[in-house]
């Protein structure tokens, strides 16, 4: 360190020691030498000095140095906040992880491109939907499919599980999970073919026994007891005590005289495309989302929850904070004033609560289900997470939000006398 740098440090430290914060900030800001890390190092981790330095750096808007101070103070949560303000999500994630603020750490890991770490944290928080989406972005298609299936997102999970290649060690598990999802979606024929791909004419062993058992389960559910018996007898000859093979064999014998009922089966193309296209079509009708392209719209659609709402339930209460946007797919909802008067009836394709996407303020009206409803919904926090981890989507949304807000203001001004 040269004598000039030593003088600069001494002057700044003397101002801080005398609580002359404005003078310290002025001198530090005008210095041509990068003194920040030297000042931190010279504190010797003394809490009072680090606290004063953190205040000075914050007012000078050197947020990375503020984060360094808080890290030295082991205040990892605040350090994470400052790393975020400094535009460093990778270090922010590490600080939040140390502070056990796992949801924020996961968001920052996603923002920094560390999608596997994010997925593992979402799993730790038991948020399988976000975990699955993070694993998908990491290219871990089996883990993504497994999580999304557990989250009730068969439409997203099954195509991923079907992409797991035969040479992958998780191929058989992927076949089993995909088959379960397909069978639940009334595509039992495709489920059987997926299980047969996993078995691949191999003899029964520990690694594929569950595939044979799942075959039997699907055949039994379809009342095809002859085919189910064949699979179960193969299992019994390998290991009679394996799971509930013996019990299922008895069920097949007693039910073998029943004729299988005819049941129309949904095709895979319908399953993969129709519901998704319909949902995306509804989202595209809203002016706030009109600027999003199809891939961005698909990402947004995947983040929505699907809900069934019984008749008479209040979805939004006037005067109370509303944290959800709702998209009405089926049924009718009624909008009520503070006095209970019905202001409007909303049908399929209607939206309500959209200001929750950008504002946590109280709702201006009550919304109640006039009939049973099928809706798409998304929480304010989930929408914020989506925008934070998809910058291009965020840019498109806020651009059109600003335009829509300006349009509404102009319309309100024109209505005024």
Q: Can you tell me the mean pLDDT for 269-278?
A: 52
Higher pLDDT: 236 or 3? It is: 236
d(CA 87, CA 255): 65
pLDDT at 71 over 50: yes
**Weakest mean pLDDT among 148-152, 284-288, 328-332:** 284-288
**Weakest mean pLDDT among 84-88, 170-174, 281-285, 350-354:** 281-285
Q: Which of 123-132, 184-193, 354-363 has the highest mean pLDDT?
A: 123-132
Higher pLDDT: 163 or 396? It is: 163
Q: Which residues of 12-36 are buried (b: 16+ CB within 10 A; e: fewer)?
A: bbebbeeeeeeebbebbeebeeebb
Q: Which of 28-32, 177-181, 264-268, 318-322 has the highest mean pLDDT?
A: 177-181
pLDDT at 136 over 50: yes
* 272 — pLDDT class (breaks 50, 70, 90): very low
Model pTM score: 0.67
**Weakest mean pLDDT among 184-193, 242-251, 256-265:** 256-265
* 27 — pLDDT class (breaks 50, 70, 90): confident
**Weakest mean pLDDT among 50-54, 267-271, 366-370:** 267-271
Higher pLDDT: 96 or 35? It is: 96
Mean pLDDT of the chain: 84
Do the Cβ atoms of 396 and 291 come closer than 8 Å?
A: yes
Helices (H), 337-390: 380-389
pLDDT at 266: 46
Higher pLDDT: 119 or 372? It is: 119
Tell me the per-residue pLDDT of 289-303, one tens digit each, with 9 for 90 and over.
766 777 778 778 878
For residue 346, give the 3-state DSSP assignment.
strand
Tell me the per-residue pLDDT of 384-394, one tens digit each, with 9 for 90 and over.
888 888 877 78
- Inter-helix orientation angle 141-150/115-124, to 10°: 30
d(CA 118, CA 135): 8
Domains of the chain: residue spans and CATH? 3-99 (1.25.40), 286-415 (2.60.120.10)
pLDDT at 91 over 50: yes
Residue written as token pair 């010797």: 44
Facing residues of 369 across strands? 333
pLDDT at 215: 93
Pairing outcome for strands 351-352 and 324-330:
antiparallel
Do the Cβ atoms of 79 and 67 come closer than 8 Å?
A: yes
Q: What's phi and psi for 186, nearest 5 deg?
A: 65, 40
For residue 239, give the 3-state DSSP assignment.
coil
The residues, ordered by sequence, that sit 6+ positions from 139 with a Cβ below 8 Å of its Cβ are none
Tell me the per-residue pLDDT of 172-211, one tens digit each, with 9 for 90 and over.
999 999 999 998 878 888 899 999 999 998 989 999 999 9
Q: Can you tell me the mean pLDDT for 389-411?
A: 73
pLDDT at 230 over 60: yes
Neighbours of 276 (CB within 10 A): 15
* 120 — pLDDT class (breaks 50, 70, 90): very high
């Amino acid at each position: 360190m040269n004598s000039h740098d030593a003088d600069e440090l001494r002057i700044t430290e003397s101002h801080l020691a005398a609580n002359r914060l404005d003078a310290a900030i002025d001198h530090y800001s005008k210095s041509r030498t990068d003194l920040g890390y030297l000042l931190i190092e010279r504190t010797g981790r003394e809490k009072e000095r680090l606290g004063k330095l953190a205040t000075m750096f914050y007012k000078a808007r050197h947020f990375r140095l503020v984060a360094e101070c808080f890290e030295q103070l082991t205040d990892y949560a605040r350090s994470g906040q400052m790393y975020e303000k400094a535009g460093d999500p990778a270090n922010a994630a590490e600080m939040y992880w140390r502070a056990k603020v796992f949801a924020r750490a996961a968001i920052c890991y996603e923002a920094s491109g560390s999608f596997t770490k994010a997925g593992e944290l979402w799993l730790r928080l038991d948020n399988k939907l976000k975990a699955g989406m993070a694993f998908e972005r990491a290219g871990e298609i089996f883990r993504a499919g497994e999580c999304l299936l557990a989250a009730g997102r068969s439409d997203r999970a099954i195509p991923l599980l079907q992409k797991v290649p035969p040479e992958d060690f998780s191929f058989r598990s992927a076949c089993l999970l995909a088959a379960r999802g397909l069978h639940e979606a009334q595509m039992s024929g495709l489920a059987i073919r997926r299980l047969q791909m996993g078995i691949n004419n191999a003899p029964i062993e520990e690694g594929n026994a569950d595939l044979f058992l799942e075959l039997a389960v699907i055949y039994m559910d379809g009342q095809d007891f002859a085919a189910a018996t064949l699979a179960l007898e193969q299992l019994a000859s390998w290991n009679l005590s394996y799971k509930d093979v013996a019990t299922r064999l008895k069920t097949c014998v007693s039910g073998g005289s029943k004729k299988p009922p005819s049941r129309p089966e949904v095709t895979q193309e319908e399953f993969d495309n129709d519901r998704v296209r319909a949902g995306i079509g509804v989202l595209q009708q809203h002016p706030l989302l009109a600027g999003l392209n199809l891939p961005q719209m698909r990402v947004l659609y995947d983040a929505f929850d699907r809900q069934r709402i019984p008749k008479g339930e209040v979805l939004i209460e006037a005067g109370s904070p509303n944290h959800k946007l709702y998209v009405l797919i089926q049924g009718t909802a009624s909008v009520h004033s503070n006095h209970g008067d019905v202001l409007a009836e909303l049908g399929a394709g209607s939206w309500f609560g959209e200001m929750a996407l950008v504002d946590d303020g109280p709702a201006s009206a009550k919304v109640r289900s006039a009939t049973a409803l099928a809706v798409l919904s998304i929480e304010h926090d989930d929408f914020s997470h989506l925008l934070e981890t998809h910058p291009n989507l965020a840019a498109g949304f806020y651009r059109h939000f600003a335009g829509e807000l300006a349009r509404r203001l102009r319309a309100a001004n024109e209505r005024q006398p």
